[in-house]
Structure 1
Amino acid sequence: MLMYDVGSKQLLMQPIPPEVGMLQFEIVRKKSGFAVLHPEFHLYLEKGSEERVSVLFAKKRPFNKTANFLISQDKAKSGRKGEDVIGKLRSNETKERYFLFNNGENPKNVHKVPLAGIRNEYLAVQYKYVPCSIGKLRKAKVVIPSIDQSTNVPREWKPLKKEDSMLKKVEEPQHLDNYYCFVDNPPQWNPKTNGYHYDFKGRISEASVKNFQIIPYQDGQKGVNIRAFVAQFGRVSDQIFKLDAQYPFSVFQAFGLALTVFDCE
């Protein structure tokens, strides 16, 4: 893995460069003290067997009808209007759909601020549950904006109403070039454990319903486990998790995706 500077807000929002390969992260969840009902999440970039660098911080905000995570670079400056806040993750009321935005204005204020100041949608996730031999299996659809090859930044998308979300537009053929769509890597059945599992290449040590691997939508249609994944997430201990991601995801998008798993039912 090449060296990668994560200190810049701009780099955190841009796609992980293809030449960097797969970045490896650790997520530490804090659920003690005041954080019992509203957990805190710390994202660290692993740079070696012993070295890690703090990258992002997220906290679930209280007193909201839907999930509301505020994401910042610095815990000490993580207030709603803090200078280090880079975005937020929201859900619908049933926790089946999640939307990751930058720190722009809510579209309801479109008549009060310039259009450029309205928030952009960086990630949209939809969860469904299908019956299987051991109960229910969670299925995910993950959508991110495609990359503008001339600028190497995600294409700008500003949904001014719910119907404009990427989850809706990706279903329309005329918009397919504007988005990348991903799905779960189908887990393999293990008769010894009587359960489904992924090959995490030694990164994940505990089985969990939260564990996942994400692959391109086209590969997911094959219905078989694919060895080459774009992102993966899994449990190591009660409060420690691993997250790996590569191009075309940004660090911001990968962290947002992981946060949805902590929250969904």
Structure 2
Amino acid sequence: MSFKSIVRELKEMKNGIGGSLSRRGEVEGGRHWRNRTRSHIAPDVVPFDPNQQGQWANIPPELLLDIIRRVEESETLWPARTSVVSCASVCKSWREVTKETVRTPEECGRLTFPISLKQPGPRESPLHCFIKRDRANSVYRLYFGMTPSEDDSDKLLLAAKRIRRATSTDFVISLVSDDFSRASSTYVGKLRSNFLGTKFTMYDSQPPSDAALHQHRGRRLSRRFSAKQVSPTVPACNYSIATVSYELNVLRTRGPRRMHCAMQSIPFSSIQEGGSAPTPTSFPQSFDEPAVSKMKEPALTISSRKPLVLKNKAPRWHEQLQCWCLNFKGRVTVASVKNFQLVAAVDPSQNIPAAVQETTILQFGKIGKDIFTMDYCYPLSAFQAFAICLSSFDTKPACE
């Protein structure tokens, strides 16, 4: 059987053996992959039933590894990488080999499984995404790609819904755009502002690393719900992983917005030579801590290491245009107070190369009515970058 025939059969498996076990959490696909009316299962979240693996599980391991490696190497662009996810949807043995073969976004610059959204972006060049704002429903959708398509075939990565409260604003972030319940397995985190909208706290539904969870095991963890209300497969905690702060500018004498992002879950050493950022490998299945009473906010934070701090790159005043300007390299076309670029805040005594200090880690800007670009790279993940950009959408009368 030729290699093309094998790939063709893999694609046909969605209607056969793997059809009922495929793509609920699939990040890359040729059609909208989060349709609630279909019973898809994320390949890196839900376990397989050994009794339903079928004859494909009996392929020799050496041949199986060779097939999946060839499929992964040959399909680098969307929507062709659906075949990579199809391999993980066939049976348990295929799933394990596929997860071992597919590299992280930091290494390959591509997104494949849902957990890719929690992993650091590539080091060499940023991943290009864009955000669509739905004013009527207060929903923000993050898509993969340089620009929006004309046939509604954009690849949805994450979605957020703004919920206004008496003393704060919450942005609840989900894998789907039609279910923002924190009791859902699609819930990935949230962003909460203070009363003035000058400080935001980013919460993740899973700990930054297993070591962090072990370090704080035994403390009181704030659960979103009691153990009887939620399935054990739903993450039960919110972990504070970052804060986004905007400087006060009541009289508007300091120019554009000034912001700082303290990433408690990312050590400063990650941008130093030989450093690395935490890279989760899968979504948590359950938590072993006993149920405790619900509190307003989680007490668990990650603060044992020096965190990475990001600051916005200072714009320059353009005399002819009479406005503040930044070089977005063509990715931003509309002037807006929301536009920004983030770089690492580095002390001169820390001996960080100038190239690293000037590297734009996150870039956000307006390109049309309710359409914004978002380009991010290492050490931020898509989830962290999206949450930071969401803070720019909240009203800030005290900062501008």
Matched, 1:229 2:364: no
1:96 deviation in Å? 1.0
Q: What letter matches 2:131 in structure 1? A: I
1:218 deviation in Å? 1.4
Indicate the residue corresponding to 2:110 in structure 1.
4
Question: Any gaps of 5 or more consecutive residues in structure 2?
Answer: 1-76, 78-107, 208-219, 228-234, 271-275, 282-296, 350-356
1:69 deviation in Å? 0.9
Matched, 1:124 2:243: yes
1:7 deviation in Å? 3.8
Which of 263, 279, 286 is 1:152 aligned to? Answer: 279
Indicate the residue corresponding to 1:256 in structure 2.
387
Q: Is the 8 A contact 2:246 2:260 kept in 1?
A: yes
Q: Is the 8 A contact 2:266 2:278 kept in 1?
A: no
Indicate the residue corresponding to 1:187 in structure 2.
315
Q: Deviations over 1:28-57 (max 9, x none)?
A: 00112xx2xxx1101001067857411001
1:53-132 superposed matches below 5 A: 53-103=155-205, 107-109=221-223, 117-130=236-249
Question: Any gaps of 5 or more consecutive residues in structure 1?
Answer: 170-174
Backbone CA RMSD of aligned residues: 3.4
Q: Is the 8 A contact 2:198 2:248 kept in 1?
A: no
User: Which SS does the other structure have where 1:236 is aligned?
Assistant: strand
Q: Is the 8 A contact 1:6 1:12 kept in 2?
A: no
Q: Is the 8 A contact 1:185 1:220 kept in 2?
A: no
Which of 240, 257, 276 is 1:138 aligned to? Answer: 257
User: Which SS does the other structure have where 2:314 is aligned?
Assistant: coil
Q: Percent identity?
A: 24
Indicate the residue corresponding to 1:172 in structure 2.
none
Q: C-alpha separation between the residues in 1 aligned to 2:248 and 2:145?
A: 33
Matched, 1:40 2:142: no
Q: What letter matches 1:185 in structure 2? A: K
User: Which SS does the other structure have where 1:123 is aligned?
Assistant: strand
Q: Kindly tell me the number of residue pairs found equivalent between the two proteins.
A: 237
Higher strand proportion = 1
Indicate the residue corresponding to 2:10 in structure 1.
none
1:11 to 1:178, Cα distance in 2 relative to 1, 3 A: farther
Which of 135, 153, 166 is 1:31 aligned to? Answer: 135
1:65 deviation in Å? 2.6
Matched, 1:243 2:374: yes
Q: Is the 8 A contact 2:240 2:298 kept in 1?
A: no
1:89 deviation in Å? 0.7
User: Which SS does the other structure have where 1:77 is aligned?
Assistant: coil
The two structures have a TM-score, normalised by structure 1, of 0.76
Q: C-alpha separation between the residues in 2 aligned to 1:260 and 1:150?
A: 23
